[in-house]
Amino acid sequence: MILTVTLNTALDITYRVPSLRAGASHRVSEVLERPGGKGVNVARVLAALGHEVTVTGFSGGPTGRVLRDRLTEVPRVTDALVPVSGATRRTVTLVGDRTGATTHLNEPGPHIAHAEWSAFQEVYEDLLASASAVALCGSLPPGVPVGAYAGLCRTARAARVPVLLDTSGAALRRGVAGRPDFLKPNTEELAELTGSHEPLRATQDARRRGAGTVIASLGAEGLLAVTPEGRWRATPPAPLTGNPTGAGDAAVAGLLSALVEHRPWPERLIRATALSAATVLSPTAGDFDRAAYDRFLTTVTVTGVATAA
């Protein structure tokens, strides 16, 4: 079982409009609603790849009940969310069909009481006992300590469960001190963490700060991985036009699935890059185009070198 942690779960609502224009009134052509938050998105992709996944984090209020109801519709995903008194947030994405332009509105999430945070940590420790890997994903809701991810990383490492961290801002700066096995930032997050806008230098600096391996999302240019085993760069075959929502989460799912299957690093990066690219091409934000994914598996290129033994 792969465990994904989403402390700030959300009900994702997508509105599609013919053309998205600031300050204008829009007629909505389609409304999509489904459980979300970064770790939930990762779980959905992992399940589509055939893996058993458990989702934990927080859920509360009417929005939380809808989220949990929708989770029951996803095969191979087990709900282990911890109930809270506050209401789960909503995220709204506006998508313009003609240009693919997107606008995101993200609510802050419920306030988590000290007792609720303590209850989650107990559930988390119990779930680690049967986990083959864990992903800690997304923002922290109000009330959760800013150093929460560092503690969760240490707990996973003590349980000998490989842990991947995918967050940003203060949660990232504090979380890397927990020495996650894998860190998956984008270039902006890397620059904020290290002060460097040069990807290779920034990834190396992030490793010095505590991460075992750093896999940097370079947007349309693919992925860069700096690991104890070597350094590799994965590149999609051509620039893509589409909706990038969820592309980073799909990459995390690709990395985790290949990790638990004991694939070598070049194969992990090919899978992660192919999934990310196929997500950009999907008509539904956060899903991936299966045919495109199969095609990208044979066209993504990887360059790099393994560290000499």
Query: Which pLDDT does position 286 carry in this prediction?
Result: 66
Q: How far apart are the first and last CA of the chain?
A: 31
pLDDT at 125 over 90: yes
Report the pLDDT averaged over residues 47-57: 97
C-alpha–C-alpha distance, residues 205 and 200, integer Å: 9
pLDDT at 24 over 80: no
Backbone angles phi, psi at 235, to 5 degrees: -130, 130
pLDDT exceeding 90 applies to what percent of the chain? 73
Dist CA 55 CA 78 (whole Å): 6
Judged against a pLDDT cut of 70, whether residue 309 lies above it is answered with no
Band the pLDDT of 306: cuts 50, 70, 90: confident
CB atoms within 10 A of CB 61: 16
pLDDT, position 95: 80
Higher confidence at residue 289 or residue 101? 289
Looking at residue 149, what is its pLDDT? 98
Read off the pLDDT of residues 247-295 as tens digits, 9 standing for 90 and up: 899 999 999 999 999 999 999 999 999 999 988 877 666 688 888 889 9
Structure tokens at 225: 């991985």
Identify the burial level of 222 via C-beta atoms within 10 angstroms of its C-beta, where 0-12 means exposed, 13-18 middle and 19 or more buried.
buried
Instruction: For residues 179-196, give the mean pLDDT.
Output: 94
Query: Which of 20-24, 135-139, 276-280, 293-297 is modeled with the greatest confidence?
Result: 135-139
221-243 mean pLDDT: 88
Note the pLDDT of residue 245.
77
CA distances from 189 to 143, 153, 215 (A): 23, 19, 12
The pair of structure tokens assigned to 178 is: 């927990």
pTM beyond cutoff 0.85: yes
- Choice among 19-23, 182-186, 206-210 with the minimum mean pLDDT: 19-23
Mean pLDDT score, 46-63: 96
Predicted local confidence at residue 167, as pLDDT: 97
Question: pLDDT at position 285, please?
Answer: 61
Which residues carry out catalysis?
249
User: Which run of H or of E encompasses 151?
Assistant: helix 148-158
Does residue 161 or residue 305 have the better pLDDT? 161
Per-residue pLDDT, 50: 95
Q: What's the pLDDT score for residue 186?
A: 93
Instruction: Work out the average pLDDT over 101-108.
Output: 82
